[in-house]
Amino acid sequence: MNKYESMYILKPNLDEETRNGIVERFKSLVEENGGKVEKVDEMGQRKLAYEINYISEGYYVLMTFESPGELPQELERIYKITENVIRFNVIRL
């Protein structure tokens, strides 16, 4: 099992219930695929360095987890098809 860190940015106009549902969805995705979530740090709404599709702010979430080597690829695939995710990044620690 490898340690990974994933940061993703959600659209700023989401209500709290929707945002919590997305965060919980990604957390459960890791756990269902044999991983272990160590920490989920919701950093809150921040200004983006540059506009992305006319959006200048985003809601940042940092997730640290352990998982088998093939899980990050699946996680990135899910990030890509989730319409409320603006940007994402998964790195191995």
55-90 pLDDT, tens digit each: 999 999 999 999 988 899 999 999 999 999 999 999
Q: Which residue is it, tokens 């940061």?
A: 7
Confidence at residue 19, expressed as pLDDT on a 0 to 100 scale: 94
- Can you give the residue ranges of every domain in the chain? 2-92
Q: Which residue is it, tokens 């940007």?
A: 87
2-25 pLDDT, tens digit each: 999 999 999 999 999 999 999 999
- Return the CATH number of the domain spanning residue range 2-92: 3.30.70.60
Q: Is-above-0.85 flag for pTM?
A: yes
The total number of residues shown for the chain amounts to: 93
Query: Judging by beta carbons within 10 Å of its beta carbon (0-12, 13-18, 19+), is residue 59 exposed, middle or buried?
Result: buried
Confidence at residue 1, expressed as pLDDT on a 0 to 100 scale: 87
Query: Judging by beta carbons within 10 Å of its beta carbon (0-12, 13-18, 19+), is residue 29 exposed, middle or buried?
Result: middle
